[in-house]
């Protein structure tokens, strides 16, 4: 079945540091890929998505590129802020079904 | 739009008690989902629905039941609560089943079974 593997956390960075959170996936078809963010005490919300190979999703300074050849969708940001502290989830969605598969989440803490 | 709303926000149950977690969405979404999130873990799909009157099991359905009588509501029923059901429960919805549809999440219900 489908699966998503995320870089284990927690990740602690200083403000303005470069962020990479690795995500790889296994899927039988050609899934869409997502990054969701969860702030403390809240539900998940979509951060960015990519629906086909070589697409780049971007939002709020975060970027991720759909790499079919390496089955990866790594999240990057050039300069993190304290307000980026949250849990980040990589997810895939089967194009022919209504379900998504989520990674275990990576906790990011950014210190001033 | 309120989006996806869940009640209650917190609940403590005793072993063997039952309860219903409520979920409502006002976006006219066809698909709705129930997940549980255990500490430090990802989301596990409990049940999902592709429209009113249609539900299906996810990865971890045992101990839970659902119904979908309207497009807006998707309640989750816990019968005979057990400590293993201590978790945070999230309801979500999406417009359709296409892979590119994002899911919209509620704020969650934190359940403790003692």
- Write the pLDDT tens digit of every residue in B61-112: 999 999 999 999 999 999 999 999 999 999 999 987 666 678 999 999 999 9
Q: Which residues contact B62 (CB under 8 A, 6 or more apart)?
A: none
Q: What's the mean pLDDT in A93-103?
A: 80
pLDDT digits (tens, 9 = 90+) for A66-90: 999 999 999 999 999 999 999 999 9
List pLDDT tens digits, range A11-53.
Answer: 999 999 999 999 999 988 789 999 999 998 888 999 999 999 9
Distance of alpha carbon B39 from its chain centroid, rounded?
17
Q: Do A89 and B50 touch (CB under 8 A)?
A: no
The span from the CA of B44 to the CA of B69, in Å, is: 23
Contact A66, A55 (CB under 8 A): yes
A11 CA: distance to closest CA in chain B (Å): 13
Contact between A46 and B45 using a beta-carbon 8 Å cutoff: no
Hey, are the CB atoms on B58 and A99 less than 8 Å from each other? yes
Residue B113, beta-bridge partner list: B13
The whole-chain average pLDDT of chain B stands at 93
Instruction: Report the run of H or E that residue A5 belongs to, with start and end.
Output: strand A3-6
Residues from chain A contacting residue B93 (CB–CB below 8 Å): none
The answer to whether the CB atoms of A99 and B106 lie below 8 A apart is no
Question: Which structure tokens are listed for B18?
Answer: 């039952």
* Smallest Cα distance from B14 to chain A, Å: 24
Which secondary structure element, helix H or strand E, spans residue A108, and what is its range? strand A106-111
B98/A95 CB distance under 8 A: yes
Q: Considering only CA atoms, which of B26, B77, B2 is closest in space to residue B47? A: B77
d(CA B109, CA B6): 7
How many CB atoms are located within 10 Å of the residue B26 CB? 13
**CB-nearest partner of A43 from B45, B48, B106:** B106
């Amino acid at each position: 079945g489908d699966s998503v593997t995320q870089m284990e956390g927690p990740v602690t960075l200083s403000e303005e540091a470069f962020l990479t959170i690795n995500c790889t996936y296994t899927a039988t078809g050609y899934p869409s890929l997502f990054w969701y963010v969860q702030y403390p005490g809240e539900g998940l919300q979509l951060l960015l998505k990519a629906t086909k190979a070589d697409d780049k999703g971007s939002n709020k300074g975060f970027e991720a590129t759909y790499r079919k050849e390496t089955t990866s969708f790594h999240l990057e940001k050039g300069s993190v802020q304290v307000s980026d502290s949250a849990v980040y989830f990589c997810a895939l969605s089967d194009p022919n079904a209504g379900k998504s598969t989520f990674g275990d989440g990576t906790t990011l803490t950014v210190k001033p | 739009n309120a989006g996806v709303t869940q009640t209650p926000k917190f609940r403590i149950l005793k072993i063997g008690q039952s309860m219903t977690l409520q979920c409502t969405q006002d976006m006219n979404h066809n698909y709705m989902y129930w997940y549980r999130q255990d500490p430090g873990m990802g989301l596990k799909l409990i049940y999902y629905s592709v429209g009113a009157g249609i539900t299906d099991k996810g990865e971890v359905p045992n101990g839970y039941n659902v119904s979908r009588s309207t497009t807006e509501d998707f309640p989750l029923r816990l019968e005979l609560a057990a400590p293993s059901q201590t978790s945070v429960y999230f309801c979500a919805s999406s417009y359709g089943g296409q892979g590119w549809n994002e899911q919209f999440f509620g704020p969650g219900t934190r359940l403790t079974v003692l």
